[in-house]
A and B are shown apart, each in its own frame.
Chain A
Amino acid sequence: MTTLSGQQSAISSQLETIAELPPHETQLQEFWRILKKDRLAIFGMIVLGVLLALAIVAKVTTEWVVIFDPSTVRLPDKFLPPMSGASADLIPTEDRPVFGVYLFGTDELGRDVFARMLQGSFVSLSIGFIAVGISVSIGILLGGLSGYYGRIKLGFITVDTLIMRFTDVMLCFPTFFLILTVVALLPPSIYNIMIVIGVTSWMGTARFVRAEFLSLREQDFVVAAQALGLPEYRIIFRHMVPNAMAPVLVSATIGVASAILTESGLSFLGFGVQPPFATWGNILSDGKGFIFDAPWLFFIPGFAILIVVLAFNLFGEGLREALNPKLRRR
């Protein structure tokens, strides 16, 4: 999002190397104790909890049992400010919002902004989670392969070199520009956006999963497991992956935040998720044209994004601190 995105990734990869952890299986309590002390992280966690609950409620109430109707057009009621009631004489009863009140006002077609924000919360979050899910899966897969089977030779090149060179290749693309190009060229579907964001953001995960695996495979418990002749998939999935999860978790949390921001940036440029899906990003970028006529169309989604992304970031940072023994010791 900034001109310094290059720096940002440099910083996070630096931080991630700091975050290399020795194995710790039963330190959940200690982790919780430290996390609890971080009030900002707790704030983030609560916001996220509420948001998750809200998103599920939203899915139910806007699509399955329509209580909040995000799509009904009521032209006479356009641009009503938040908390105003529906004009009883102009709007047919079946079209009126719940309680007859527009909690967040109405947009340029008289649609209920609250209902749209609700619907958008689910869509925005699923974009974040699925994109990050894709990026984390690719990252773990490639990082793990490279870390565990890295020394195997494929002809003249080792698996590790192959994967790491490929990672370098991917890092050479300016991320936002790449996402923009691909999204612009592909048909505009919400799934394409998720996939593109996911496929362009796994490089960090791959790198530190690899580093983690490299250090883990020298650890006593892995060496012991290998000596016992345990099957490889068991060593990898039971012993190594869980131990490498901590930094993955941290970067995934922050990754969701940046995926939501990326989506809003794409929406601003006109390449975001297309209707009928409402996302906070496209409500915001649609609303900006009406900033003088209906400022709530701009400020409500803007602040919603701010709060949620902030919550993810704070929680992610809290996780990082709590999971990082080096920092903990200070």
Chain B
Amino acid sequence: MAQARAHSGLLTMWTYIARNILQRIVTLLIVSIVAHSVIHLAPGEPSQVDPSNPRMKPSDIENIRAAFHLDDPLHLQYAYWIRDLFTGELKSFKDNQPVLPKIWQRFLNSLPLLICATLIIWSLSFPTGIHAAIRRGSVYDRSTTFTAYALISIPGFFLSYIMILWVVDTFNVPVIGMKTFGMEDADLAFRSMDRLWHLVIPSLMSAIGGIAVLSRYVRSQMLEVVGQDYIRTARAKGLSEDTVIYRHALQNALLPFVTMFGFLLPALIGGSVIFEQIFAWPGLGRLGYEAILARDFPVILTINFIAAVLTLAGTLVSDLLYAVVDPRIRLQ
């Protein structure tokens, strides 16, 4: 009997996952169609077709347009795009290079920035948030609240410029890009530390908003949990305050954070444009930005497609994680 129920439970689990995936694939299809039509219907031409080039004759432009299927009906263009995307032969309008390796390269560049920023956010937010919750209403709590709000209220590029100018003026070291150039022949230790240093400021800048938001969230989760009956019971049992807070309260408060791991990857693309632009960081966001400027439709669409895949995968993962860690969530 018990085995049978477990078995059917497993089955529901699988159908649940399968249905979820199917749903997301449909969503993805719609997303790609919407994105494709928006981009192709908007004004503006790919830059290769840029007639500002005085040497280009109308017939050349026609040849280029034909080579990129720009005069075909929309649904055909969409079909070409999907075909090329999945055969890996999609090429950029801008330089005729294959799109996927290009995006992969940029993804690898963005990754260290993302990892470092995530580490900073998650490691700093918990202690500040918990501390603020424990001392609710104290000067510390109020000042962190205020600071958190101030941090999410500053335009990111404003703060970044101030930071860059300050660091450069005070310490006289380069901070822009992924590394200091001209150091290729230096010691490995110097080179790797140099790379690390170039990560510090951009990742701190992109982490700032995250620290503010996450520490606020930790605080409110902790407050939520601390008010629960079982915490009161634990206190009544005479357990030390630290044990109560860090063993009982924190472990329960952590639950919703599990779901957040699902949202880490899509964040790679979304908000990083500005920071990558300022710090001359050759990441995904900047690739997207340059593609927008050049009307490089295949690159824009593919980045968008990948972002959608990551978002959908992220929500799937977080749903599943939630289902796994919280037995109270029933699979519907």
A contact set with B: CB distance below 8 Å? 1-8, 10-11, 14-15, 40, 165, 168-169, 171-178, 180-182, 184-187, 257, 261, 264-265, 268-269, 281, 284-285, 288, 291, 298, 302, 305-306, 309-310, 312-314, 317, 330
Contacts and interface: CB of A to CB of B under 8 A. Distances in A.
Nearest to B300: A181
B116 to A, nearest CB: 10
B267 A185 contact: no
B271 A173 contact: no
Contact of B150 (A172, A298, A310): A310
B27 to A, nearest CB: 5
A168 B27 contact: yes
Contacts of A2: 152, 156, 206-210, 213, 267, 271
Given A4-B209, A180-B289, A298 B161 contact: yes
A10 B259 contact: yes
A155 B277 CA distance: 48
Interface string B124-156: 000000000000000000100110011011111
Contact of A5 (B157, B208, B260, B271): B271
Interface of B: 23, 26-28, 30-31, 34-35, 38-39, 42-44, 113-114, 117-118, 121, 142, 145-146, 149-150, 152-158, 161, 165, 206-210, 213-214, 217, 220, 223, 227, 256, 259-260, 263-264, 266-275, 277, 285, 288-289, 292-293, 295, 300, 303-304, 307-308, 311-312, 314, 318
Contacts, number: 195
Given A3-B268, A5-B209, 9 more contacts: A2-B213, A3-B206, A3-B210, A3-B271, A173-B307, A185-B39, A186-B43, A265-B156, A306-B155
Contact of A1 (B28, B146, B209, B289): B209
A7 B263 contact: yes
Contacts of B314: 6
Contacts of B165: 291
Contacts of B157: 264-265, 268, 285, 288
Nearest to A317: B149
Contacts of B288: 177, 180
Given A15-B220, A182-B38, A269-B289, A284 B308 contact: no
7 contacts: A2-B207, A6-B266, A177-B269, A181-B39, A185-B44, A298-B161, A312-B153
Contact of B217 (A11, A40, A261, A330): A11
B178 to A, nearest CB: 16
Query: Of A14, A177, A269, which is in contact with the most chain B CB atoms at under 10 Å from its CB?
Result: A177
A5 B267 contact: yes
Nearest to A311: B153
Nearest to B278: A268
B271 A305 contact: no
Contact of B152 (A6, A264, A313): A313
Contacts of A313: 149, 152-153
Given A169-B30, A306-B150, A176 B155 contact: no
A294 to B, nearest CB: 14
B207 A3 contact: yes
Contacts of B156: 1-2, 265
Contacts of A298: 158, 161
A310 B153 contact: yes
Given A174-B304, A180-B289, A185-B42, A6 B263 contact: yes
Nearest to B261: A7
